[in-house]
Amino acid sequence: MARWLAIVLALAAAAGGAAAQTAPGDQQQPGQPGSDAGHPTTPIGQPATQPGHPTDQGQTGGGDNKAAPPAVSATPDLSYTIEKLGKPSLGLGGYGGYGGSGGSHYGHGLGYGGGLGLHHEDTGTGCKVAPAGGWMQPVQGVFQDDPAPQVTYDYMHGAKPNPVINQVSPGVFTADLPMIAARKTVMMGVQRFRTSGGVEPGFTWFTIVFNGIGNCDVDADVKFRLRLTDINGSETVWTSPAIAKAPIHGSPGAKSEPFQVLVPAYDGLPPRDVGAFSIPGPGPYTLTAELLDAKNDEPTGLKLVVSGQVVSTDPPVVEFVPVTLSGAPSAADTASFQRFVLQVAAASNAILPDYFPTFAYGLPTYSRSLLDLSDLDPHESSPDWNRWHWQAAAADRLGAAGVLSGATRVVGIVRQGAQGANDFAKIAEAKTAAMTPSTKAIFVGAGGGADADHPFRDLAPPTGADGYPEAGLVETVGHELNHSEPDHIWSGDGDERHNEKRDCGIFDHNLTVRTGHGERITIASEETKRIYHESSVSMMGPAESYGLWITQCAYAHLIYSFGHGVDPKVLFVRTILSNRNRTMRATLPPSYDQLGEIDAVEGPAPDWAIVVRQGAAAKTYPIEPHWFSEEDAPRDTLSLMAHIPDPDGAATLEVVYKGRVLASRQLAAQPPALAVTAPATVAKGATVHLTWTASAASGDPVLSSVFYSTNKGRWYVDTLFESRVNQGDVVLDAHAKDHVIKVVVTDGGRSSERLIRYSTP
């Protein structure tokens, strides 16, 4: 995969050169270009200076790319915990376990192989050491103890106070933010932790701290050993070389003293040359770090423990579609456009898992050939009406075909700029880089190069000055996917159910607010480099920002959104709604029988609803149209899609507003009959000619669609969509061995499908 991505990026560079537009946000805010005025340069809720904490050092992106760890100017001030620990005394009889969280200014080396500290001979006369707490957390991207929001969105239980790492007893923690199964993981330090209902300071994210108490007077080299216990048992993840010094040898002193051992973890442990680890999951996990005597690898008794849960996520399958709204371009431009969209899909598959709660290359993406939607132009008299209507019709077409293709999100890449056709402006608001007009469909503007030979210049991802992908356009896609999860529209406080401002306690959409903190462990899904983020601009920020990172709240929001249950039988319902001139209207495009998640739950509906009537009984499923975009721009026409429980029998499907039926369709008790004729065997790269007969019990016309898959039906591309024809050709991919062709017919209310499978050499 890495080699394939490198080839794709090389093709991108050859085809388009430098980026003409890198747009991680949807819309640049007026009066804010390139300015951070009024925004903090240190993490929100944190002092302007903190001993041992790195500053931004003039880097773009909030200090997210430092070449070397800064020197720690002081050790943690733990004097407030010594009283809790109790006055140390000789013999340590009361400190055989996790007795307290003491500490003092007894810092030890920050460099591998030792550092500062005393250097006496080991007399071997039996002094004693006991653990007294410390700080450590597992990191897969964002920090558990994120400082920026006032609250964080718990993926299961709603908003809760930060930080979300809790001290059970000194040195023993529970991590609330779940780990993601198979995602790269490192161990780092803790800035703050929650205990006894309050928040206490730790030290720094890039230093793991072991607190101890002992009466030894000789420093000795210690190693760091990390063990993982999960559903598969226990294993040693990594044992370091000598990494610091600790007072563990020598003669017993006159009295016991608290001390600290500071273990460097600037880019996380294990270090990059060793490689990050992962937790298989799902289920509970425990990570135990302990210091070993480097002389004999015996445990010193200094230990830290963190426990939590590992979850498996199911990210959306994302289809990328090159879209034209002004007729097909020339053959050369069509080929260039399609190649560009393929590159965006490949780059998104590699890069977005760096940010999102999934494993490397864990966001499934694919692309298809050019789709001409110029025939959906409604030719309205008002430019606004035309834009809203066209946008809704295009979102319905892309979203419906995508759902039937197995894609859970569809990204339409639309041309913009100086290609002779500024298509994106026909459906998008001014100064908008991308938009999410429906639950399923996203539109991203791309292109704009002045060079006629290379009309799509912002090939994703461009390469930054230090050789790693900046991924401007891909971050734009990620920004929009955040808006669409779990359904439309996570932004601001316009959507009561999915309200970023309420969930996060802070609003950063299209704002240069430095709310991104964490450790980027992979670059394009590979461990070629690690990047420490502190106070980086959020990927939900404005289009002109670079060096972005995802916020803890957005990351937790996606954990919740990417969770899926068992798919029941559902009816996939589409409707296009309008409130033009304050007159409510609705249409019902064809619906389909599927297996999928129910996303419209039965209940009272004061305004809009989908209603299923079966005799005298009626079931009402409230729906919530958003007459505004994620930038609060108005619109009067929109596409809305929902999965409702299978009606299971004859019924009437209605779209209702305040009890008034605006659109209705009869649902037959039985789906249409369908028979498909196709060759029994085929050759590699063959063209398969299909014919089919379909009839509806009601006698209503039947619409047909054909889809083609090269991965055993995991996802498809549409080769025919909602047509009255009863035959078609599918050209098999000569590079694929497994082929699935799906024929779907609908009478407008119910549907049937047939699969044809082939294998070629």
Token code pair at residue 349: 């598959």
More confident residue, 8 or 177: 177
* pLDDT band at 579; cut points 50, 70, 90: very high
Do 287 and 268 contact (CB within 8 A), yes or no?
no
* Radius of gyration of the chain measured on its C-alpha atoms: 29
pLDDT for 492 equals: 62
Beta strand extents in 382-453 (DSSP E only): 409-415, 434-435, 441-446
- The mean per-residue pLDDT over the stretch 362-390 comes to 93
Q: In angstroms, rounded to a whole number, what is the distance separating the alpha carbons of residues 217 and 250?
A: 5
Sorted by sequence, the CB contacts under 8 Å of residue 694 that are 6+ apart come out as: 672, 673, 674, 675, 702, 704, 726, 745, 752
Question: What beta strand segments (E) does 124-190 contain?
Answer: 129-135, 137-139, 151-154, 158-161, 165-169, 172-175, 179-180, 186-188
Mean pLDDT for 393-405 is 94
CA 713, CA 711: separation in Å to the nearest integer?
6
Predicted pLDDT at 585? 95
Look at 136-140, 398-402, 498-502, 711-715 and tell me which has the smallest mean pLDDT. 498-502
Residue whose tokens read 């996060």: 504
- Rounded CA-CA distance 212/132 in Å is 5
Amino acid of residue 404? L
In the prediction, which pLDDT does 190 show?
96
Mean pLDDT, residues 225-229 taken together = 97
Measure the CA–CA gap between 704 and 723, rounded to whole angstroms.
Answer: 5
Mean pLDDT of the region 388-412: 94
Please report the pLDDT score of residue 196 as a whole number.
85
Listed range (52-66, 262-276, 390-404, 687-701) with the worst mean pLDDT:
52-66
Task: Give the residue with greater pLDDT, 278 vs 37.
Answer: 278
Give the DSSP H or E segment for 649: none
Q: Which pLDDT score, from 0 to 100, does residue 59 have?
A: 32
Query: Which DSSP symbol is given to 455?
Result: S
Residue 309: per-residue pLDDT = 93
Higher pLDDT, 99 or 130: 130
| pLDDT score, position 301 | 93
Find the helix or strand (DSSP H, E) in which 475 lies.
helix 472-484
Least confident range from 194-198, 213-217, 406-410: namely: 194-198
Whether omega for the bond prior to residue 282 falls within 30 degrees of 0, making it cis, is yes
Q: Which of 500, 467, 468, 476 is nearest to 486 (CA)?
A: 500
Top-confidence residue, 536 or 173: 173
**What is the mean pLDDT of the segment spanning 140-154?**
84
pLDDT digits (tens, 9 = 90+) for 39-91: 222 222 222 223 333 333 333 333 333 444 555 555 565 443 433 443 333 33
Q: What is the mean pLDDT of residues 356-369?
A: 95
Encode pLDDT of 332-347 as tens digits. Answer: 888 888 888 888 898 8
| C-alpha closest to that of 561 among 523, 597, 525 | 597
Distance CA(513)–CA(12), nearest Å, equals 31
Rounded distance, CA 202 to CA 208, Å?
10
The closest alpha carbon to 465, from 18, 9, 20, 69, belongs to 18
Q: Are 228 and 279 in contact (CB under 8 A)?
A: yes
- pLDDT top residue among 17 and 304: 304
Cα separation, 513 vs 343, in Å, equals 30
pLDDT, mean over the chain: 79
Share of the chain above pLDDT 70, in %: 76
Pairwise CA distance, residues 694 & 674, whole Å: 4
10 contacts: CB under 8 Å, gap ≥ 6: none
CB 516 within 8 A of CB 547: no
